[in-house]
Every structure is written in C-alpha cells, then in structure tokens.
C-alpha cells in the first residue's frame, strides 16, 4: 500500500512515508470502514491523536465516536478535543513514592468532567477561561 501525507507528495510505501501518528490515524480510518461490514468486539487506540490538535483532533474524536456505535472503543489520549467525545471518561493518575509507582483510575462526570477537560486544555487545575472553553467543546460534541 502506498501513502502520501500531503497533496502533491510522492506516493511511497506506508512504512517509508507515514509517521507513527499518521499510521495510527490511517488504521483508525480503515477500522471505521471495516467495522461497517465486519465489526470486532473491542478496539484499543493508544494516542491515535499524536501530533495533531484543533479541528483535526475534533475530527479524530468524532470518528472514534462513530466507531464506538459498532463496537467497544478504548482510547488513551491527552487531547481534550478527543476526550470530549467519550461516552465514559476515565482519568488515570500516576503517583510516585520513592521507588513505588501507583496508578489510579477514576470516572469523571458532570462538573468534574468539565474540570478535567479544562485541565487537559490549559494544564492548570483551576482556569476560568479553560472551563468556559471546556463547556463550549462539550456543547460542540453534543451537537
């Protein structure tokens, strides 16, 4: 299979032309198409949104949401634009104490979800502007 990542680019084998992020997004596109006729039970995407942001990230989130209507979809992301599309939003937190690292997982809903989306957007725990942006982003996703 040949690939080019931009208009006018030379068509090359995927292994030579596509970055890791491009490979992930190409696989997402293929899996969305394949799921129409031969759905799998579960799809797992680890940072399928690497190297993108803004409008492209919203589109990746939308396509993951479309796929989730046919199968279970688990996504690891650091982008609010992708996380906003989730039906269930889980936050994984790592804590280190000396040589011990522990991870915890919690589900966020309602205002806690807005706060987490805001944190993902701004990197700050309590930003009023980021909270407004998070609300807007969630409204965009909800239609």
Is residue 48 domain-resident?
A: yes
Q: Average pLDDT, whole number, for the chain?
A: 89
In a domain, 53, yes or no: yes
CA distance 51 to 93: 22
Residue 126: inside a domain, yes or no?
yes
Give the CATH number, domain containing residue 82: 3.40.50.300
Domain count, the chain: 1
Which is more confidently placed, 1 or 57? 57
Contact 11, 34 (CB under 8 A): no
Is residue 26 in a domain? yes
> Which helix (H) or strand (E) is 42 found in, with range?
strand 42-46
Does any domain span residue 77?
A: yes
What is the predicted pLDDT for the residue at 24?
A: 74
Residue 108 burial (C-beta neighbours within 10 Å; 0-12, 13-18, 19+)? middle
Max mean pLDDT among 22-26, 41-45, 94-98 falls in 94-98
Q: Give me the domain span that covers residue 76.
A: 12-142
Q: Is residue 80 part of a domain?
A: yes
β-strands 100-108, 72-76: how paired?
Answer: unpaired
Q: Is 125 inside a domain boundary?
A: yes
Summarize pLDDT for 86-102 with one digit per residue, the tens: 999 999 999 999 999 99
Candidate ranges 3-7, 39-43, 48-52, 75-79; pick with highest mean pLDDT? 75-79
Tell me what pLDDT residue 74 has. 95
């Amino acid at each position: 299979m040949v690939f080019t990542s931009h208009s006018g680019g030379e068509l090359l084998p995927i292994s030579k032309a596509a970055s890791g992020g491009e490979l992930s997004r190409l696989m997402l596109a293929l899996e969305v198409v394949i799921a129409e006729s031969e759905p799998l039970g579960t799809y797992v995407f680890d940072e399928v949104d690497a190297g993108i942001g803004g409008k492209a990230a919203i589109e990746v989130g939308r396509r993951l949401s479309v796929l989730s209507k046919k199968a279970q979809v688990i996504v690891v992301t650091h982008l609010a634009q992708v996380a906003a599309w989730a039906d269930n939003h889980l936050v994984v937190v790592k804590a280190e104490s000396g040589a011990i690292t522990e991870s915890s997982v919690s589900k966020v809903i309602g205002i806690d979800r807005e706060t987490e989306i805001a944190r993902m957007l701004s990197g700050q725990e309590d930003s009023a502007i980021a909270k407004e942006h998070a609300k807007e982003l969630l409204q965009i996703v909800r239609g």
